[in-house]
Amino acid sequence: MKTHPHISQRKVKPNRQFFSLAKKEFFHIFRDRRTLIILLGMPIVQIIIFGFALTNEVKNSRIGVFNQAQDAHAQALINELEASRYFEVTRIFTSYSAIEEEFKKGTIKLALVLPPHFAADLKHFNKTQVQLIADASDPNVANTLINYATAVILDFQDRLTNNNTLPYTIRTETRMLYNPQLQGAYSFVPGVMAMVLMLVCTMMTAITIVREKELGTMEILLVSPVQPLKVIIAKAIPYLLLSMLNITSILLLSVFVLQVPINGSLLLLLAASTLFIITSLSLGLLISTITASQQTAMFISLTGLFLPTVMLSGFMFPIENMPLPLQVVSNLVPAKWFYIIVRTVMIKGAGLAVIWKEALVLTSMTLLLLGLSMKNFKIRLA
């Protein structure tokens, strides 16, 4: 049975127009170099800055030593601290009062005070006491340095007592799962992925549609034979593909530059990333339906999403430590669920059986955002 040529043309034409719209959007992005730099350059810059500059590790901290013992054991302990990558002995004190002066000047962050009879006390009494003084004006750094120094001292003690048996000794064996070297990049890479995709996808989608409304070309597109839904999808497709390119570049930088491995399924990670990109694009569509200018869309995208993404996604601050109302609000932030998925799949190596709840939440958010966007869109058309 032959198909009438006019009927065939009617079936093919809308699809051609749909792909023409998507192709036009691609050309528009590649012509606008600033947009292209934001889309492709910002994720690379952010992953490098966060991976190398923002880390919770404290390295090469300047410390001072007040060595009252001047014996071989005391010097060996100082050498142990000096040899670690966390400390650099920059001050040798000759009096206790000089320590606080250096803290006030900010030249040291930690001071070690060794007693006069350090080696003799160890030899005759099997114990001695040292003092660690830290600058608690920054409590997090102070706690970290105290923990580092305590670990070095305990290692030194273990070597000294290797051939001696102490009564009632409790030994603690510590094992750090998934990140034995406690590298900060293991935490920042999933967070940066969530933040970059959330901001780029949402902001760019919202701006590009609002720009069409400002220029008056949106009405021309909407009166064309292509359905309004396909017009919106055609404008979102280039950003979906470019965001997948961003995901690829972020993962390559993470593995080969920051040395963060992908322990789980790469396919599952890409699928979850695609879902989150669609969620972000849907949020951008919703913002575009309620704003009338590019400035407003950019303001809402940046200020309305950047702070919640950083503060309430669990990326920078533990959600468990927040008051209950903020914990409830954090459930509305899509980046929180994607951050959990990436950390679980990429760092812990878990599969779909562990992350299906988070994926379901993102899917529900996507459907809700798309539904609200289309409803607002139809209202505006009416």
Cα-based distances in Å from 268 to 261, 275, 354, 375: 15, 11, 12, 32
Q: Are residues 92 and 49 in the same domain?
A: no
Q: Are residues 33 and 65 in the same domain?
A: no
d(C-alpha 248, C-alpha 40), whole Å: 11
Q: Are residues 28 and 97 in the same domain?
A: no
Question: Hey, which residues does 87 pair with through a beta bridge?
Answer: 61
Q: Are residues 71 and 196 in the same domain?
A: no
Q: Does 123 score more than 50 pLDDT?
A: yes
SS3 253: helix
**Which candidate, 122, 119, 347, 375, places its Cα nearest to that of 228?**
375
Cα-based distances in Å from 184 to 43, 90, 176, 299: 18, 26, 13, 31
Q: Does 348 score more than 70 pLDDT?
A: yes
At 135, which CATH number? 3.40.1710.10
Q: Are residues 217 and 77 in the same domain?
A: no
Question: Hey, which residues does 8 pair with through a beta bridge?
Answer: none
> What confidence score (pLDDT) does residue 204 get?
80
Instruction: Give the pLDDT band (50/70/90) at residue 8.
Output: very low
Number of domains in the chain: 2
The pairing of beta strand 110-114 with beta strand 131-134: antiparallel
Among 109, 130, 161, identify where a domain stops: 161
Q: Are residues 364 and 272 in the same domain?
A: yes
Q: Which domain holds residue 156?
A: 61-161
SS3 111: strand
For 129, phi then psi, to 5°, come to -135, 130
Full-model pTM:
0.70
Among 161, 194, 216, identify where a domain stops: 161
Strand ranges (E), 81-147? 87-92, 110-114, 131-134
> What confidence score (pLDDT) does residue 2 get?
45
Q: Are residues 204 and 323 in the same domain?
A: yes
Q: Both tokens of residue 96?
A: 């206790």
